[in-house]
Amino acid sequence: MGRVRKALVVGGGIGGLSAAIALRRAGIDVDLVEIHTKWTVYHVGIVVQGNFIRAMVALGIADECVAAGFPYDGVEFRDLQGNLLADIHGIKLAGPNYPSDLGLTRPALHEVLSRNAIKVGTNVRLGVTFNEIRQFDDRVEVSFTDGTTGTYDVVIGADGVNSKVRQTIFGEEFKPRYTGQGVWRYNVPRPPELNRAVMYSGLPTGKCGFIPLTQDTGYVFLVQAEPEDLRIPEDQLAPEMRKRLASCTGVMAQLRDQIVDSHLVVYRPLRALFMPPPWYRGRVILIGDAAHAVTPHMGQGAAQATEDAVVLGELLARDEPIGDLFEAFMRRRYERCKFVFDASIQMGEWEQHPTPDADPTGLTAKLMPTLAAPI
């Protein structure tokens, strides 16, 4: 059958670096190519839950991730006046020694992942991607933009929502769609009283909140309906974000007033994609946003990409036919990712088009047992 001995990972983000670590720990040689000449990660934060921390334990880097961030427990839901609507506690899925939730900056997470990917022996090549992928029964031959070539047992497309691997292998049919919302983020000093994630409802078509990142910092976020072609001059991003938060009171009003540097505002339109099964053809498989790009409403984008990586590393260590291993991957990942995707999209729909049966706190609580299930 021929055990997998060498793999190519396309993409050096969270999913790609996690896959590289998982495969190297399984004894597989890994080349990782990243199209950008420098690893640039925008400076805002990320919130992760217990299933992400559990995946980090599997990769052997959980302690470093927790040390780089701010551990906390669950999320509070409040109205714009600060009244508590619901309080959902997290689940310590990684064991009693790890938190249920964690906030950390994206650069901090990237530093942990990239350092460990290199430490375990990943051959990282920046400023390089592929020109052509040619599949054969027993191998994949790849030509690269730097003029080199390589032969691999498998190729893993971890190159994000606009995946070139997906386009090359599956064609133009599957493209991300705009969901109708955009997300605004801005880092601020952390008020001492904000030591958990907090979501504020009551905005006309969205929500806002705060995520702690370190002992000293956190970030304000705003998710709301925006036109797809929104164009705001870069020097006007801060006043525009403040304007959208004008109805906030209390601590959120204080944080809003600290949004003063337009160059530090990060705005992204929300685009989503969910590939039908299977996410592979031949010896090439998609993971993370390349296969299931989810909106941030449930805080699960990074977690699901990392879980993909952990499962793939476990399976590719086996001496079984590639097709059987990829099918096993789909059985373990498809329904779980679909549930998270659907829940995230539903949250966004409720925010844009409120209905009497809208129940964001109930849906959040329903997600917890799904995340607690083994991957």
The three-point CA angle 207-211-215 to 5° equals: 160
Report which residue type is found at 69: G
Digit-by-digit pLDDT tens for the chain (375 residues) are 468 999 999 999 999 999 999 999 999 999 999 999 988 777 788 889 999 999 999 999 999 999 999 999 999 999 998 899 999 999 999 999 999 999 999 999 999 999 999 999 999 999 999 999 999 999 999 999 999 999 999 999 999 999 999 999 999 999 999 999 999 999 999 999 999 999 998 888 789 999 999 999 999 999 999 999 999 999 999 999 999 999 999 999 999 999 999 999 999 999 999 999 999 999 999 999 999 999 999 999 999 999 999 999 999 999 999 999 999 999 999 999 999 999 999 999 999 998 999 998 889 888 888 899 999
Backbone φ and ψ of 7, nearest 5°: -130, 150
Q: What is the DSSP string of 182-251?
A: EEEEEEEEPPTT--SEEEEEEETTEEEEEEE-SSSEEEEEEEEE--TT----GGGHHHHHHHHTTT--HH
CA dihedral 299, 37, 173, 288 (to 10 degrees): -30
Q: pLDDT per residue over 242-281, tens digit each?
A: 999 999 999 999 999 999 999 999 999 999 999 999 999 9
Task: Give first-to-last CA distance, the chain, whole Å.
Answer: 26
Say which residue the tokens 């996410």 belong to.
Answer: 279
| Sequence-distant (≥ 6) Cβ neighbours of residue 359 within 8 angstroms | none
Q: pLDDT per residue over 152-208, tens digit each?
A: 999 999 999 999 999 999 999 999 999 999 999 999 999 999 999 999 988 887 899
* 11, 34 Cβ separation under 8 angstroms: yes
